[in-house]
Structures are given as C-alpha cells and as structure tokens.
Amino acid sequence: MRWIVNYHLFSGHHETVSLIKRKTSMKSSSLQKFRAKLAANEPVVGLWITLESASITEMAVASGLDWVLIDAEHGHLDWKEIMEHVRATVRSDTIALVRITEVNAGLIKRALDVGADGVVVPWIESVEQLEQAVKFANYPLRGLRGIGAERATAWGKCFAEHAAEANDNVLVIPIIESVKGAENIEALCKVDGVDLIFFGPADYSASAGFAGQWEGPGVAETILSMKDTARRLGKRCGIVTTDNANLRQRIDQGFQMLAFGTDSTMIFRSLDASLASLGKPTTLRPDLSVVDSTVRPARLRRPPESMRPDRGETMNPVGSGLQIELAPGVHLECLVGAQNQARGLTTGFVTFDPLSVLPYHTHPCSESITLISGHAAVLVEGRQYTLSPFDNITIPRGLAHSTVSLSSTKPALLHVALASDTPTRDMVDHPFPVVAMPDRSEGCPPFERVTRFQSAHRFEAGPNTEFIDYFNQTLMPGIEMSGGYGLFQCGGRLPAHIHDFDESICIVTGVATCVVEGRHYSMSNGSTALQPRGRVHYFINESSEAMAMIWVYAGPMPERIMVDEHCATVAGDPWKTVN
C-alpha cells in the first residue's frame, strides 16, 4: 500500500499535511496471515454461506473465523447478496471466497471485481481446466483478468495499487469431486498458482455410483489418498466437516482448511438437538413438509423397480460368524459385514472376560455399543459411562474410546454396530484423565450419546410393539447409520416393508419369526438377520413370550417404505426373477 502526501498552501504560509491511505478491497495482509497459518500447519476454519442475510457473515467475522465461502454455485444468492456478504468482511482478517459455477472468465472476473479475496472452482478434472481458472484470476502478463472500475480497485481510484498486489495474493481453490478428478490428482497438484485443494465427498460419491451418500463405499479412503498426494506435493487440503468430532478427526488426518458446515446445516443441527432433547425428533421431507409420526405412511402396491435387490437375505446364528480377538480376553464375533455382502454396516457381539479391557482406539466411522449382559463401562476421552443392560452409547467417528469389564467373576456381552462393512481401527496411545459420569448421564453433546434404557422415550411402530431410537441423524447430526431397540409382545408385528439400505436385526430376547417374501425363519439367542436393500420383509412374535431385537440401518434415518402385504408372500414376491 502507498502513502500519498498532499501539501496545501494557505495564506500566512501555513502548511496542512493530510495523509491518505489508499486501499483496495483485497485484504492483502489478511491473506498473508492466512497463508502463514497454513505454512505453520495450523488449521484455518470457516463457514459455508448459502443464505442471503449478510448478518451471517458478520457473525462469522465477529467469531474470528479465518474465512467464509459464499456459495454462488448452488442455491439462490444473487450478485447483490454476494457483494453484501463480501462487504461484511471488510476491515477484518476473515477471508471472503466465492464459489462459482464453473471455469468461466466472466464469473471469476465478476467475483474478484466485487472484492472477493479468491474463488473456489468446482468439478475440476483436468490440468487444462485448472490452468485456465488460474489465468482468469490473474492480471496480465501472468493471466487474462481484465481491470474493472469496481470495488476491487476502489471504484477505479486504486488501479495501480490493486494490479500490483492482486496476483501475489489471490486464492484459486479447485474442488476435486469426481472419479476423473481423482485420477488426475498428481498432475493437478503440480499446477502453479494453487495453494489449496478442496475435496467434495458427496459429489465424488455420486460420480462413483453412490448418489445421496456423503462418503460411499471406498470414498473415504480415496479422499485420504488424494490428500496424502496433495500434501506430498506441497499443497494444503480442505474439506467440509459434518460435526465437531469429524472436525477433530479431519485435523488429525492432515486437513487444514476446514468448514464447520453450511449456515443452514448448522442451524438445523442446533434445532434438531433441541427438539431431540424434548423427545420430539422431526424428519423433513424433500417437499419441506414434516413427517408426523402419528400418521401411518401410505403403502405402495409393490416396491419400485429401482430398488430391485441384488443379494439374498442371510440368517446368522451365534457361532457362525467371523471370530476376531480384539485384545487379550476381548473377542468379537462378526455376524453381519463384508463376509456376507453387507453394505455400509458391520454388527456382532463382543465378549469381555472378567476385568478385561479394550484399549483406547478410534474408528473412521460411527460405532454403537449396547450392553446385553454383565457389568461394563465405556470411556470416551476419559468420560466414563457405566452401562446397565440395554443401555446404548453411540460414538461418532474419530472419537477415542475404550471399554472395560467391571466384574471380577462374570463376563460382559455387548452388541456392537459400525457404519462400515470393512471397519478399521487406530489404537490411541494417549492418557485421558478419568471422569466418572453420573449414572443418568445421556452423554456429552455434540459428541457421544448415551440412551438409558429405563428412561428412554418409547413409541409404537406396529401393533403390540414398543420401540426406542438409540441413534439417527436427528438425534446425532452427521451420523451415518440409525438404530434402536424393539420389543414385541405376543402377536406384535411390523407391516411388510423395504428399506433403501441394508439392515441388521439381532434377536436378543425370545423367539422371532422373520418373513422375507414368503420365506419364514425362526430366530433366537442372538441370531442376526441381514436384510439387503429392497428385500420385502417383516418380523412377528408368534410365541407366547415377549421378543426383543436390536436393529441397525445402514442409513442415517430409520425410514421404512410400506408395501402391500401380498409382496411378503411366495405368490406375491415382487422379485420373482431374483433368488
């Protein structure tokens, strides 16, 4: 920046000196601080802006966020609203970025002209695309950006100042969010003029054939591999986080530019948590109506053809599963998982010998733990929860936890579920001071959630049934699966239905009859069914004693699609060509 001294001569030969600091709207010093943080391997955190009120950006600035990203790719923001968001960052160290719709000279020029400190360019797949974006964001001779008399140049008053500093400071951030982009990641990381690479899990999942999933099968691993490549080649990496636990996990994984989320999702996180605390969780439909749990959903005559299953159901009695020793005296029997073609889900039983310990570890997916029998406690970063039978604790991905058997004479049996068909774990060699949580504690929002069986909210899911929701997207925003407990009195049953994801059903009390498209199975003593996506099924208690189950869906909300009862018979099997 340049200081200009104006000398004004008045009568009497007195001189008045005024100093005018000529500034452009680009925050050069703030951008330098931003890059210095990245160079020091510090995280830079920000907010994704999708709503029109510039007050949201003012709140982000007041909170000391490092950056905001104003989304002009999706949604409804117009250029006046974009400029108001940019204007709200003036005289702060919060960087203003604009995500445009595509590599386009006019869009990049306009975003920078209104005063943005950089542009985020989606769906970058080739070196040519990225090089073009860099050229459009830089003035000649380095690039092709035209000079306009807009906010960026103080409405034409600072042409020279802005042109002198812009090329050295402007940020061009590509988003890699497709299979093709991943294939070219090494070449993309070698493009000059790019400091940061952002990754888009949802669009990448869609391009890999898993539309609607945040991180479809194998996507999490691919993104980590791309991140490793980018870091090796000197680039910093960014990603949107889904919750506070995921934020910490991403920092540990080496991501530096971290979005807390979008403004709208953060509002919903707070609303959902408050409603859930009152026992009034809600589900929003795509038409923006709210699901009323007191209204029975309409039945379909038959399942949609798009949900035709590609696998058969499996019934997995205890003793038939994959046996794994997790630690001395701690044994897992995996009943549902990759070995029987489950997708996005692993469930089974873990048996603890008296006083045995499963040391601290983390998973790259969420985990649910339900005590079936015995005496045990689960510790999450030192917070110790003592469980009673059928109490559940659900732990978000990336959160360090340990389990201990508290009895010196009797084993403990726990049902576990993980939101992956091939889960992994990383051992954590870090001491956490132990804090005994109250017996009635329901966890530590927004981290782990504890459902106390005796006091949990109950609801009816079918005649003579009583259900408890342990975990789902409403109760734990950002979780990848949903599940709970179901009690069936004599004659209790669910209607014939399907799911748009795989399901695990474990019979923990009594005897259940599972009906799958006319095929009848008797289940008891921990036997666990894998119901693949699209299979028509229901459970009924045909015995004279109560029956109970623990069910887990490989989807974030417990959504059942009701179908005509005839579809659950041999004659009405809607998938007769599938065995």
Instruction: Tell me the catalytic residues.
Output: 74
Distance CA 485, CA 15 (A): 85
Phi, psi of 341 (to 5 degrees): 65, 25
Distance CA 325, CA 323 (A): 7
Distance CA 183, CA 126 (A): 9
Total Cβ atoms within 10 A of residue 165: 16
What is the residue-wise DSSP string for 98-128? EE-SSS-HHHHHHHHHTT-SEEEE-S--SHH
Query: For residue 300, what is the DSSP state?
Result: B
Angle at 291 between CA 455 and CA 487, to 5 degrees: 35
Query: From residue 431, how far is each of 379, 382, 393, 394 by CA, in Å?
Result: 12, 8, 21, 21
Query: For residue 214, what is the DSSP state?
Result: S
Mapping DSSP to helix (H, G, I), strand (E, B) and coil, where does residue 355 land?
coil
Handedness of CA 137, 111, 200, 132 (dihedral sign): negative
Phi, psi of 153 (to 5 degrees): -110, 25
Both tokens assigned to 403? 């389990």
Question: How many Å is the Cα radius of gyration of the chain?
Answer: 28
Handedness of CA 506, 512, 515, 520 (dihedral sign): positive
- Strand positions, DSSP E, 495-559: 497-498, 503-509, 511-516, 519-524, 528-531, 537-540, 547-553
Query: For residue 443, what is the DSSP state?
Result: B
Identify the residue whose tokens are 């000197």: 234
What is the residue-wise DSSP string for 132-167? HHHHHHS-TTT--PPP-SSGGGTTTTTHHHHHHHHH
Task: Identify any residues that bridge with 469 across adjacent strands, giving them in sequence order.
Answer: 484
Identify the residue whose tokens are 């860099």: 134
